[in-house]
């Protein structure tokens, strides 16, 4: 499900695991002044009857990325947060000619630790969330909200904002939650980074406890056309830690001249 607001260069906002498109609320007004914002809800989050079963509508990770592309105009900037950033990267690999730029927010190419990739999460964390999300989704998402702001200088305020949003939003479909955790466990896009020539802006919190800053630094060095902007004192949600700075960065990125 996608809603559109504003006018200007096309910009798609793709949320992460557990929290729907409402998570972008703090920056929507600012971004829609100069951009045509496509606010995307992944299947199972808006709970529209049209969403159907997440597993049937989007049979795998790459198909999900392709469906996102198909729903957007040509030359859209894809801004993905966390899991949404993984989907944005995959989409840009599938059809680079359709993507004007990539903005990766608190996102890295591989969420789970591997033998050669330690700046990531352990299988134990994902296992804990997988079990609890099926048994107690509401309580699990509340605990997740607190984890998102961990390490942020404005942690209490950000946690309150996220919890308030969770109370107002429909609980995501259980299959959508399970599917998203499976992607976080299995997807590893690191081998594709050198082929991803799309211009890219990485925005990362200095104290991100879910996707460590070291992983973003490493990814930025592998991407041929990337810049990294670090939000000092921020955790996993830099767009809530400093909404004005975040919106300004995206505005400048979307309006920057694109060289051939």
Query: What pLDDT is stored for residue 52 in this prediction?
Result: 44
What is the arithmetic mean of pLDDT over 200-225?
97
Q: Would residue 76 count as lying in a domain?
A: yes
Residues 6+ apart with CB under 8 A from 14: 40, 42, 68, 78, 79, 80, 81, 84, 85, 87, 88
Beta bridge partners of 202: 104, 228
Query: What pLDDT is stored for residue 257 in this prediction?
Result: 84
Q: Would residue 189 count as lying in a domain?
A: yes
Q: Which residues carry out catalysis?
A: 82, 208, 236
Residues 189-200: tens digit of each pLDDT: 999 999 999 999
Query: What pLDDT is stored for residue 2 in this prediction?
Result: 82
Query: What pLDDT is stored for residue 47 in this prediction?
Result: 60
Average pLDDT of the chain?
92
Residues 142-189: tens digit of each pLDDT: 999 999 999 999 999 999 999 999 999 999 998 899 999 999 999 999
Structure tokens at 90: 């995959």
Nearest Cα to Cα of residue 193 among 83, 69, 108: 108
What is the arithmetic mean of pLDDT over 189-215?
97
Tell me, yes or no, if the pTM score tops 0.85.
yes
Residues 28-79: tens digit of each pLDDT: 999 999 999 999 999 889 864 444 443 445 458 999 999 999 999 999 999 9
Q: Would residue 77 count as lying in a domain?
A: yes
Q: Would residue 109 count as lying in a domain?
A: yes
Q: Would residue 250 count as lying in a domain?
A: yes
Whether the Cβ atoms of residue 46 and residue 76 lie closer than 8 Å to each other: no
Backbone φ and ψ of 106, nearest 5°: 55, 35
> Which of the residue ranges 99-113, 124-138, 139-153, 219-233 would you say has the lowest mean pLDDT?
124-138
Q: Would residue 129 count as lying in a domain?
A: yes
Structure tokens at 42: 């992944």
Whether the Cβ atoms of residue 126 and residue 184 lie closer than 8 Å to each other: yes
CATH number at residue 166: 3.40.50.1820
Nearest Cα to Cα of residue 101 among 252, 213, 211: 252
Structural domain of residue 127, as residue ranges?
2-255
Q: What spatial distance separates the first Cα and last Cα of the chain, rounded to whole Å?
A: 32
> Which of the residue ranges 129-138, 196-205, 212-221 would you say has the lowest mean pLDDT?
129-138
- For residue 79, count other CB atoms closer than 10 A to its CB: 32
Percent of residues, the chain, with pLDDT higher than 70:
94
List the Cα angle 221/123/174 in 5-degree steps: 105
Burial of 72 (0-12, 13-18, 19+ CB in 10 A): buried
Distance CA 230, CA 203 (A): 6
Q: Would residue 260 count as lying in a domain?
A: no
Whether the Cβ atoms of residue 38 and residue 12 lie closer than 8 Å to each other: yes
Query: What pLDDT is stored for residue 224 in this prediction?
Result: 95
> Which of the residue ranges 36-40, 57-61, 98-102, 117-121 would you say has the lowest mean pLDDT?
57-61
Q: Would residue 143 count as lying in a domain?
A: yes
Query: What pLDDT is stored for residue 59 in this prediction?
Result: 59
The domain tally of the chain equals 1
């Amino acid at each position: 499900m996608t809603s559109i607001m504003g006018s200007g260069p096309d910009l798609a906002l793709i949320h992460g695991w557990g929290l729907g498109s409402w998570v972008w609320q703090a920056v929507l007004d600012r971004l829609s002044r100069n951009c045509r914002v496509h606010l995307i809800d992944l299947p199972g989050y808006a709970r529209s009857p049209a969403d159907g079963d997440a597993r049937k509508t989007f049979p795998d990770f790459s198909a999900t990325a392709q469906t996102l592309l198909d729903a957007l105009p040509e030359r859209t900037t894809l801004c993905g947060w966390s899991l949404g950033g993984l989907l944005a990267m995959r989409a840009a690999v599938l059809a680079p000619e359709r993507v004007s730029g990539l903005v990766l927010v608190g996102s890295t190419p591989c969420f789970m630790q591997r033998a050669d990739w330690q700046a990531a999460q352990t299988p134990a964390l994902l296992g804990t969330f997988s079990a609890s999300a099926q048994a107690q989704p509401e309580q699990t998402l509340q605990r997740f909200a607190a984890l998102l702001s961990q390490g942020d200088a404005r942690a209490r305020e950000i946690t309150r904002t996220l919890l308030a949003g969770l109370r107002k939003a429909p609980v995501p479909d259980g299959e959508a939650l399970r599917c998203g955790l499976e992607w976080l466990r299995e997807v590893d896009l690191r081998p594709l980074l050198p082929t991803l020539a799309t211009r890219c802006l990485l925005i990362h919190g200095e104290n991100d406890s879910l996707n460590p800053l070291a992983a973003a630094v490493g990814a930025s060095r592998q991407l041929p056309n990337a810049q990294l902007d670090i939000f000092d004192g921020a955790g996993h949600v830099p767009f809530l830690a400093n909404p004005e700075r975040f919106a300004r960065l995206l505005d400048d990125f979307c309006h920057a001249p694109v060289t051939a």
